[in-house]
Amino acid sequence: MTQLEKTTNSEVTATEANVKGLVKFNKPFSFEGEVHAEIDLSGIENLTGQDLDDAENMLMRVNKPSMVPEMSMTYLFFLASKATGKPQEFFFQLPAKDSLKVKRTVTSFLNAAE
């Protein structure tokens, strides 16, 4: 395989990963003076077991324990925040339909783990 083929294959793989985690909003969303039409959640691929444990511990600290944390918006938005670098408030202020898109994307990732 030539260097050009390796580079092209790497670029395609990176592009596919971004598209896989890309959540397009129904309409542009303004947060802290910045307008967002989408959010790239592909960083969830890099989360660790420690991140999942931190999310569960955070639920306990905010007095929202859950038997199934993967269904909690607080838990999922914590993970989305870790994956994107955006504050949790960003996700909590999204319109309902867009926040559910984020929730489904993160939940799908967690459920796809084998």
Burial 26-63 (b: 16+ CB within 10 A, else e): eeebeeeeeeeeebebbbbeebeeeebeebeeebeeee
For 55, phi then psi, to 5°, come to -65, -45
Which regions in the chain score pLDDT beneath 70?
1-19, 113-114
Q: Encoding tokens for residue 60?
A: 């306990």
pTM above 0.75, yes or no: yes
For 76-94, the pLDDT digits (tens) are 999 999 999 999 999 999 9
State how far the Cα of 6 lies from the Cα of 12, in Å rounded to an integer. 10
